[in-house]
Chain A
Amino acid sequence: MENIDYIDFFYDSIRESFESMFDEALTLENEASAPCCISSRGVSVIIGITGEVKGRVLLDLSLSTAMDLAVRLDPDLNNEDLVLFSIAEFCNTVSGGAITNINNKYRQKGLRLSPPSIFAGTNYKIFSPSLHAVLLSYDTRFGKIDFHIGFEGV
């Protein structure tokens, strides 16, 4: 199996998706190996990856950051579900962009995404037991956003 750094495809996709959706710059504050258990900031979007390799994209941010981002898209937004859907769409755009670029470069990978699932609460933890994940932490003027991107056996 080719030794591909799948995370490389996410840097550009995260930056381009964020800038095009929210018309703001973002800065990669930290990159590290992600722990298999994380304490959520309050809102999480999970998108699974299938194909020659399996994986998962997890976007985690606070509810206040989620609301500020969603209001940036629609200033009249005042429904929490619509806020969560907006953040799920951001994660979907990021994941779709990265996966498309991987498939374009390595056609045999045949990667596909599952639809986003969204979780929100004040005190919960998330485990991904079978993944080797990287944490990309971004600083934005709306608050911090974390992407945990992991693949099986990579």
Chain B
Amino acid sequence: MDKKYINSFVEAISQVFLNLGFEEISSGSICVKDSFTCGYNLTIIIGLSGDIKGNVAISMSYETARKIVSIMMLGMEVSEIDEISVSALGEMTNMVCGQAVNILSSSNLFIKITPPTIIHGEKIKAIISQIETSVVAINSSLGTFELNLGFEI
């Protein structure tokens, strides 16, 4: 996968997190998989159509999810991942994908995004592309999470 696409999503995460008041993040190495077994309990997925067709999945642990939701809710303590927490995580992923689409539009790529879906449980096998999935580990003070990009290009 062209690194331009991966970098656009990493930059979008960085910008959205900064706007939400999170500390700076850093991205780790990129690896490519046919499918991935969710090493984390919670995955938020958004589909793409238009000049890029594919899926974007952000995976994280419950602990990281709780910390993110707590910051989004202005420091309110979040003890469990309930419906409100899930909505907040969906909205965060919506913002990331929206920002990445905005960045990619400067390269004349026009993309539309679908509503978010959140999957949580244990040992979930995920196939977000029938070609390949690029996986980037994102490190933050709230914990590590995974950005999974499966594009059919």
Considering only CB atoms, which chain B residue lies closest to A126 in the complex?
Answer: B119
Residues of A within 8 A of B127 (CB): 81, 84-85, 88, 117-119
**Bound CA–CA A81/B133 (angstroms):** 15
Verify B55–A114 contact, CB threshold 8 A.
yes
How far is it, in angstroms, between the C-alpha of A50 and the C-alpha of B49 when the chains are bound? 7
B121 at the interface (CB under 8 A from A): yes
Question: Is B152 located at the chain interface by the 8 A CB criterion?
Answer: yes
Chain A's closest residue to B126 (CB) is A119
- Known interface pairs A114-B55, A115-B55, A127-B83; A50-B126 also in contact (CB < 8 Å): no
Given that A112-B50, A123-B122 are known contacts, is A117 also in contact with B128, CB under 8 Å in the complex? yes
Contact A47 B119 (CB under 8 A): no
Number of interface residues of B (CB under 8 A): 37
16 further A-B contacts with Cβ under 8 Å, apart from A117-B150, A129-B83, are A36-B83, A37-B86, A56-B115, A112-B49, A114-B48, A114-B53, A118-B128, A121-B122, A121-B125, A123-B122, A124-B124, A126-B119, A127-B83, A127-B118, A128-B117, A150-B115
Please list the 10 inter-chain residue pairs (A to B) with the smallest Cβ-Cβ separation, ordered nearest first.
Answer: A48-B114, A114-B47, A124-B121, A48-B47, A50-B112, A121-B124, A112-B49, A129-B87, A127-B118, A118-B127
